[in-house]
Homo-oligomer: A and B are copies of this chain.
């Protein structure tokens, strides 16, 4: 069994490679839910949606989120009623949030809802939210404390980052199966996701970080920072705010207490020594997932680093 710790777009693209190499039935994704937020009373789980839409082949590939060719008639009318419109939710996408919210209201857990929806998408891999309890990643800035989505989408990451907090994480439990999956995995792959808010929020859930010290499989990470900048998203601003190096070295340092190998891009080869100085083995490969083949190659590389051979 392979476990992937996953954020949003980067993780979804990475998983497109993993599913080419590993049978879906052998994959468990532990998904960040720290970005979850209610809009108009509907529960939105952006990272779960991105992963599901991507693997279901319906994602809007240009944005990396949302459903392809979606329309926005419902949001236009919601705006007419005086609602905020900074978080774009298409009509088909809204069906996901309506359906999820309704099932949660009926007493199902987010794990159960996610599992049910995966089946509707025809997915065979298991997607576990990091927790069934609400956890809300917030960014402390000079202008105040903002939900991550507000900081990123509404305020365009324009505020200086002073701190990142995961409200609810200390009280939350990992979702059923999360700890077992980590401990029993043959390999644990950290997707090229934001180390502060995506992987960071997963690590903040009580018990998950500790479980990474009790694994039998190898833990392999790939840096989302290449050439000193994130492939996508605001990881650089967040890392800088937390006084981390905006580089594969900074990422490795974040994961150093449990990481078995750091995978970095060929253009960052010169950083290998600095990471090895942290006591972390390094391998260098092409990590830019330009196409389907590159995605599969990266997955294969990371699995080989974990001692697993998939052809």
Which residues on A are within 8 Å of B, measured CB to CB? 40-42, 67, 70-71, 73-78, 80-83, 90-96, 98-99, 101-102, 105-106, 117, 120
Query: Which residue of chain B has the shortest Cβ distance to A72 in the bound complex?
Result: B91
| Dominant secondary structure of chain A at its interface with chain B | helix
| A77–B102 CB distance below 8 A | no
Residue in B41, B77, B80, B99 whose beta carbon sits within 8 Å of that of A101 in the complex: B41
Contacts known (A101-B41, A105-B41); A94 close to B74, Cβ less than 8 A:
yes
Contact residues in B for A117 (Cβ distance below 8 Å): 81
Query: Which residue of chain B has the shortest Cβ distance to A75 in the bound complex?
Result: B95
Contacts known (A73-B71, A94-B74, A94-B94); A80 close to B40, Cβ less than 8 A:
no
| B120–A82 CB distance below 8 A | yes
Contacts known (A70-B73, A71-B73); A40 close to B98, Cβ less than 8 A:
yes
Nearest CB on B from A234, distance (A): 28
CA distance A40 to B101 in the complex (A): 8
CA distance A93 to B106 in the complex (A): 23
Nearest CB on B from A271, distance (A): 44
Contacts known (A41-B105, A91-B91, A105-B41); A98 close to B78, Cβ less than 8 A:
yes
Contact residues in B for A95 (Cβ distance below 8 Å): 73-78, 80-81
Query: Which residue of chain B has the shortest Cβ distance to A97 in the bound complex?
Result: B98
Residue in B42, B81, B96 whose beta carbon sits within 8 Å of that of A77 in the complex: B96
Q: Which of A70, A78, A98 has the most CB of B within 10 A?
A: A98
Contact residues in B for A75 (Cβ distance below 8 Å): 95
Contact residues in B for A81 (Cβ distance below 8 Å): 95-96, 99, 117, 120
